[in-house]
Amino acid sequence: MKRYTKDHEWIRIEGGRAFVGISDYAQNSLGDITFVDLPKAGTTVKKGDSLCVIESVKAASDVYAPAGGTVETVNAALSDAPEKVNAAAETDGWICTLADVVMSDLAGLMDEAQYADFVKKQG
């Protein structure tokens, strides 16, 4: 199950783990990503809290937690290769996993079809 926020983050529940990242639309809007300030494992976040910052040649942008939980693991590969977010934002370019996800936080998020419609309206 994958869900999206209006701020262009995604969360995918897979085998009891919740992967979090930014959408392909978001990485495309940011341009070449030069740095990902990864969150620290063990950090507890609420839905909407700033999870980390992604820097690109155009701007620095906060990534917000799509749901509450505790940062379990981070994608350490992004430290040496932040461009993975550009190459595969919704697969290998994930930012972190969350444990103890507040499942009720997912209720207001968009599924893939709703998100595609949302992005079309962004122009």
Q: Which residues is 62 bridged to in the sheet?
A: 53
Q: How far apart are CA 98 and CA 42, in angstroms?
A: 9
| Mean pLDDT, rounded, for 83-98 | 97
Backbone torsion region of residue 15, taken as left when φ is above 0, otherwise alpha when ψ lies between -120 and 50, otherwise beta: left
pLDDT at 123 over 80: no
Region 99-106: mean pLDDT is 96
DSSP-derived secondary structure letter, 100: S
pTM for the whole thing?
A: 0.96
Position 51 pLDDT exceeds 90: yes
- Say if CB 63 and CB 27 are below 8 A apart: no
Per-residue pLDDT band for 23 (boundaries 50, 70, 90) equals: very high
Q: Residue 61 forms beta bridges with which residues?
A: 54
How confident is residue 104, by pLDDT bands cut at 50, 70 and 90?
very high
- The answer on pLDDT for 93 being more than 90 is yes
Report the DSSP pairing between strands 44-45 and 17-22. Answer: unpaired
Domains of the chain: 2-102+111-117 (2.40.50.100)
